[in-house]
Amino acid sequence: MKRREGETLPMLGWREWLALPDLGIARIKAKVDSGARSSALHVATLETLAGERVRFSLRPLQNSERVQWCEAAMVDRRWVTDSGGHRELRPFIRTGIELGGQRWDAELSLSARRDGMRFRMLLGRTALAGRFAIDPAASFVQGRRSARGTAGKGQA
Q: pLDDT tens digits for 31-72?
A: 999 999 999 999 999 999 999 999 999 988 878 889 999 999
Report pTM: 0.85
Gap between the Cα atoms of 13 and 126, Å rounded: 17
Q: Are residues 141 and 135 in contact, defined by beta-carbon separation less than 8 angstroms?
A: yes
Give the gyration radius of the chain's Cα atoms: 15
3-state secondary structure of 125: helix
**Residue ranges of the domains in the chain?**
11-134
In CATH, which superfamily holds the domain spanning 11-134? Acid Proteases (2.40.70.10)
Q: Which helix (H) or strand (E) holds 134?
A: strand 133-134
Q: How confident is the model at residue 154 (pLDDT cuts 50, 70, 90)?
A: very low
